[in-house]
Amino acid sequence: MSTGVESWTGNILDIGPIYPFVGSEVILWVVGMVLWIAWHIWQGRHESIVYAEDEQKFKGEELAKALRGERS
């Protein structure tokens, strides 16, 4: 069982890629792209939720306190 390189001996010129699971690169790229896009979606939703809550909080006297630099 080996995930990649099995020996460093022999003809060095025969050694190409040295990372494990050579041949899985396209799958790795697809996984990476999905994770990247998912991150943006999660972050955008999270940001909207937080801002919606904060907009409810910072009204009237609470906002006036914040503008005066006072604690809630």
Partner 1 sequence: MDTDIGALTVIFTEMYYWITVVFMFLIHIGFCMYEVSASRHKNHLHTLLKNTMLIPLVTITFFFFGWWIYFALPNGPGITGGLISAPWAEPWSELMGPHMGGKPATDAVTADDTILWSRLNGVFWAAFLLFSWTAASIVSGAVIERVRSSAFWLLAVLVGSVTWVIDAAWGWHPDGWMIQVLGYHDAYASGVIHAIAGGSALAYLYLLGPRIGKFRADGTPRDIRPHNPWLVTIGLFLIYTGFWGFYAACNVPIFDVDVADDRVFYSATNIYLGPTTLSAITVNFLMSLSGGMLAGYVLSKGDGFWTYSGGLAGIIAASAGNDLYHPIQAMIIGGLGTWFMYKIHYFVERRFKIDDAVGAVAVHGYAGCFGVVIAGFVLWGYPASPTYDAVVTPWGQFIGAVIMFWVLGFIPAFILGWICKASGILRIPMAIELAGLDRAEGLDRAALEEDIRTAEQEEARAAGLV
- Count of residues making up the chain: 72
Burial class (CB in 10 A: 0-12, 13-18, 19+), 58: middle
Which CB, 3 or 25, lies closer to partner 1?
Answer: 25
Binding status of residue 1 toward partner 1 by CB under 8 A: no
Contact 72, 62 (CB under 8 A): yes
Query: What is the nearest approach in angstroms of partner 1 to the Cβ of residue 1?
Result: 19
Interaction pattern, residues 6-45, with partner 1; x per rule: CB under 8 A: -----xxxxxxxxx--xx-xx-xx--xx--x--xx--xx-
